Amino acid sequence: MVKGKCPECGADLDLEDPVVREIVECPDCGSELEVVDVKKDKVELKVAEIEGEDWGE
């Protein structure tokens, strides 16, 4: 398990085998988070950027 902290609500997260660029959901606030960096026992997370549909406009 690797520890992380939600940048939105500050909740502690335990992630199993996180991968850089993986999207995970905070169980407390429901925010979608992107794994930015994985170190030995810590993971860095940021709020995932939600890209809207491009309808060719």
- In what side-by-side order are the strands of the sheet with 23-25? 23-25, 32-38, 43-47
pLDDT value, residue 40: 86
How far from each other are the two terminal CA atoms of the chain, in whole angstroms? 44
User: Could you tell me the two tokens for 20?
Assistant: 């850089």
pLDDT value, residue 48: 93
pLDDT digits (tens, 9 = 90+) for 3-57: 999 999 999 999 999 999 999 999 999 999 999 999 988 999 999 987 666 666 6
pLDDT value, residue 54: 66
pLDDT value, residue 18: 93
2-47: CATH number: 2.20.28.160
pTM of the complete model: 0.82
pLDDT value, residue 27: 94
